Structure 1
Amino acid sequence: MRMQTLPDAQVPARTLSPKWNIATEGLSAAQRQTILDRMEVVSFEPKEILFDQDEPSDTLLLVTEGRIRLFQTLENGEQFTFGICLPGTILGLAATVTGQSRILSAESLESATASIMTRTDFLHCLVEIPPFHWNITRLLAILSIESIERSGPMVLDRASVRLGTVLKSLARPEPGDTPQQCLSVVDLTQQELARMIGVSRSWVAIALSEFERLGLISKSRGKIVIRNTKRLDDFIAEQRNH
Structure 2
Amino acid sequence: MSRAAIIAAPVAMAENGLSPKWSLALSGLSAAQRNDIRKRMRTQILPPRSILFRQGAPSDTLVVLEDGRVRLLQTQRNGEQFAFGVFVGGTVLGLAALVLDRPRILTAEAIDQVVISVMPRSDFVACTRNVPGFLDNITRLLALLSVESIERSGPLALDDAWVRLGSILVSLARNDSRNSCPTISGLTQEDLAKMVGVSRAWVGAALAEFERLSLISKRRSRITIEQPDRLADFVAASRNRSPLRR
The TM-score range, normalised by the shorter chain, is 0.7 to 0.9
| Aligned mate of 1:77, from 76, 79, 82 | 79
Greater RCO (CA < 8 Å, at least 6 residues apart): 2
Deviation at residue 19 of structure 1 after TM alignment: 2.5
Q: Share of identical aligned residues, percent?
A: 54
Deviation at residue 159 of structure 1 after TM alignment: 1.8
What letter matches 2:71 in structure 1? Answer: R
Deviation at residue 185 of structure 1 after TM alignment: 2.5
What letter matches 2:114 in structure 1? Answer: A
CA distance in 1, matches of 2:225, 2:102: 40
Say whether residues 1:191 and 2:190 are aligned partners. yes
Query: Contact 1:82/1:151 (CA < 8 Å) preserved in 2?
Result: no
Q: How does 1:1-242 map to 2 (within 5 A)?
A: 13=15, 15-175=17-177, 177=179, 181-242=180-241
Cα gap change, 1:79/1:193 in structure 2, threshold over 3 Å: closer, same or farther?
same
CA distance in 2, matches of 1:14, 1:38: 18
SS in 2 for 1:182: strand
Count residues with an aligned counterpart.
229
Q: Which runs of 5+ in 2 are unaligned?
A: 1-12, 242-246
Q: Which runs of 5+ in 1 are unaligned?
A: 1-10
CA distance in 2, matches of 1:142, 1:85: 15
CA distance in 1, matches of 2:152, 2:88: 12
Deviation at residue 174 of structure 1 after TM alignment: 3.8
Deviations 1:101-142 (A, max 9, x none): 222221111111111111111001111113111111122111
* TM-score normalized by the length of structure 2: 0.83
Deviation at residue 64 of structure 1 after TM alignment: 0.8
Cα gap change, 1:152/1:80 in structure 2, threshold over 3 Å: closer, same or farther?
farther
| Stretch moving more, 192-201 or 51-60 | 192-201
CA distance in 1, matches of 2:95, 2:146: 10
What letter matches 2:184 in structure 1? Answer: V
Query: Contact 1:83/1:151 (CA < 8 Å) preserved in 2?
Result: no
Query: Contact 1:78/1:198 (CA < 8 Å) preserved in 2?
Result: no
Query: Contact 2:45/2:113 (CA < 8 Å) preserved in 1?
Result: yes
Query: Contact 2:14/2:89 (CA < 8 Å) preserved in 1?
Result: no
CA distance in 1, matches of 2:108, 2:150: 18
